[in-house]
Amino acid sequence: MYRYDKYDQSIVDARVEEFRDQARRRLAGQLTDDQFKPLRLKNGLYLQLHAYMLRVAIPYGTLDSRQMRMLGHIARKYDRGYGHFTTRQNVQYNWIKLEQAPDILADLATVEMHAIQTSGESIRNLSSDQYAGAAADEVCDPRPWAELIRQATTFHPEFSYLPRKFKIAVTAAGEDRAAIRLHDIGLKLVKNPAGELGFEVYIGGGMGRTPFVAPLIREFLPADDLFSYIEAALRVWNRNGRRDNIHKQRIKILVHDLGQEEFTRQVEAEWQHILQNGTNVPREEFDRIAAYFAPPPFETGLSEELDRSDPDFAVWLDQNVKAHKAPGYAIVNISLKPVGGIPGDATAEQIELMADLAERYSFDELRVTHAQNIVLPHVRKADLYALWQTLDAAGLATANLDLISDIIACPGLDYCSLANARSIPVAQKIATRFADLGRQRELGELKLKISGCINACGHHHAGHIGILGVDKKGTENYQLLLGGSGAEDASLGKITGPGFNEDGIVDAVERVTDKYLELRDEGERFLDTYRRVGFDPFKEAIYG
């Protein structure tokens, strides 16, 4: 994985000292709240319902055990003993004191971490496939490209002071595990018939109050031209994007207003102009970055055999362990969704344990997933049983990956000052209602996603079943959506009708799943059945 050079480290160290001085001046009354707010947001420090909240960047969700231990240390020393992994593959802490925030950033800098570009109108944390570098179905590791974009856009004037925040995802696998078509720019590495590497470029997707699935803007962009093409797209947005209305500032609105054809024409024209100036990142620089992502020294000749005699272990294997590109290895998903738990939360002790396990079993690497789970990407199959036993003892072996209780939920009204309704209690009630693992596995893959407001941090538009919390005359109300997907078959969920209270929404979800079991054909997922039979049978089941 990438390691800082002296330039990276000096940038981050300088930013810590700059923020230390800004915080000091705020505490001394030399800066007003209005003056300080944009400064703290440039360092990931929000003011939420109960306290300051610090969001720490985890580029493309990759970190090593040393960094993971630091996250546990921060949870214990500066917060209240836990951290919350987010849908942007970051981590955030909910109980931060302003007077300690500079010290936290200083601690993070010692392990090559920071909170830059986790807030504000910037290029947010680059996201990627959590199985990158390990997936059996990828054409190459996409993370060097994500790192290239991160470095080339950080503090770049074209990418600073944008009309709004901007989210980019990069993948290289057939299965889309990063929801690329629901990003401002989604990039998929592919090979053309000549075997050359390039990108499918999707621009103009997103969730929030006006969701769009991004259209394909370019079928094949030669890989070496990536940065200049992104710059061209950003220039078109900077030139034409709406800065007069916060709800119309995202690039998806521009793509929609101009139309796919005209937007593409303008980007291509701008790109040709840029190419004359030679602003692509030199190949040698990419090669320098890519060298950090060389595969770990996988052993050869390992056995593929697994002892499945322990039935609980066998279920976990089937549900949470995925195919690895290297023979004898596997990808392990650690669910942060125990029944009745808080999706994405992990205690300091659990964080440190996962760091230890990564060091022992996974070449020192971990990943954070956009579904708020953790991945150990490179585990020998021979080590799986011992690993599972340790995870199980720590409450980290819930075998529910991609099942109905593997719920994405934003912090909601329990923590977030923007939220209209609580998300976590709804997730807990649904997971408890469907607690029986046999019942969940009978339902099969079913991605349920909950947001506490229209900003859609819980990705409700992309849920096979989505739930949106709204404020209805001062009380919490929950709308139900069906048919969304953030995968390669991306689609937006459709609202079923009038909303429900907290208990009512749980009942409604159960009526939907009962109807699915009644209607499904052999081998169909919920989403397949929904797409085959349509909306009406489910609406009838929900409302009678």
Partner 1 sequence: MKILTGNDLPTGDVIWWTGSGWSRHVEDAVDVGDKGEAILHAEDGACRVNGGYILDATETPEGPRPAHIKDRIRALGPTVRPELTLKPSDPNAGSWVI
Contact residues for partner 1, defined by CB under 8 A: 26-29, 32-33, 47, 49-52, 80, 94-99, 342, 413-415, 417, 419, 422, 424-425, 428, 474-476
C-alpha to C-alpha distance for 386 and 390, rounded to whole angstroms = 6
Amino acid at 260: Q
Q: Give CA torsion, residues 15, 16, 21, 23, to 10 deg.
A: 110
Closest approach, Cβ 84 to partner 1, in A, equals 11
Query: CB-wise, 296 or 425, nearer to partner 1?
Result: 425
Query: CB-wise, 49 or 197, nearer to partner 1?
Result: 49
Closest approach, Cβ 505 to partner 1, in A, equals 15
C-alpha to C-alpha distance for 179 and 192, rounded to whole angstroms = 22
C-alpha to C-alpha distance for 134 and 196, rounded to whole angstroms = 21
Query: CB-wise, 224 or 471, nearer to partner 1?
Result: 471
Q: Are 215 and 232 in contact (CB under 8 A)?
A: no
Closest approach, Cβ 271 to partner 1, in A, equals 43
C-alpha to C-alpha distance for 44 and 31, rounded to whole angstroms = 18
Closest approach, Cβ 434 to partner 1, in A, equals 18
**Chain centroid, CA 28 distance in Å:** 37
8-state DSSP, 122: S
Closest approach, Cβ 426 to partner 1, in A, equals 10
Encoded tokens for 340: 């009745």
What does 130-169 look like in DSSP terms, one character per residue? TTTTTBTTBSS--HHHHHHHHHHHTT-GGGSS-SS-B-EE
Q: Are strands 465-472 and 448-451 parallel, antiparallel or unpaired?
A: parallel
Closest approach, Cβ 201 to partner 1, in A, equals 40
3-state secondary structure of 404: coil
Query: CB-wise, 328 or 425, nearer to partner 1?
Result: 425
Closest approach, Cβ 520 to partner 1, in A, equals 33
Q: Which of 291, 293, 246 is nearest to 64 (CA)?
A: 293
Q: Are 4 and 12 in contact (CB under 8 A)?
A: yes
Encoded tokens for 56: 């720490």
Query: CB-wise, 52 or 286, nearer to partner 1?
Result: 52
Closest approach, Cβ 112 to partner 1, in A, equals 27
Residue 60, judged by CB atoms within 10 A of its CB (0-12, 13-18, 19+), counts as buried
Query: CB-wise, 47 or 306, nearer to partner 1?
Result: 47
Query: CB-wise, 256 or 433, nearer to partner 1?
Result: 433
Query: CB-wise, 98 or 382, nearer to partner 1?
Result: 98
C-alpha to C-alpha distance for 46 and 95, rounded to whole angstroms = 11
Closest approach, Cβ 412 to partner 1, in A, equals 9
C-alpha to C-alpha distance for 259 and 250, rounded to whole angstroms = 14
Beta bridge partners of 46: 53
Closest approach, Cβ 93 to partner 1, in A, equals 11
Query: CB-wise, 32 or 300, nearer to partner 1?
Result: 32
- Helix or strand holding residue 54 (H, E): strand 52-56
Q: Are strands 216-222 and 197-203 parallel, antiparallel or unpaired?
A: antiparallel
Beta bridge partners of 96: 52
Closest approach, Cβ 341 to partner 1, in A, equals 10
Q: What angle do CA 134, 139, 141 make, to 5 degrees?
A: 50
- CA dist list (Å): 347 to 35, 334, 370, 388, 401: 34, 14, 19, 18, 20
Q: Are 304 and 327 in contact (CB under 8 A)?
A: yes
Query: CB-wise, 95 or 298, nearer to partner 1?
Result: 95
Query: CB-wise, 94 or 117, nearer to partner 1?
Result: 94
Query: CB-wise, 424 or 465, nearer to partner 1?
Result: 424
Closest approach, Cβ 333 to partner 1, in A, equals 24
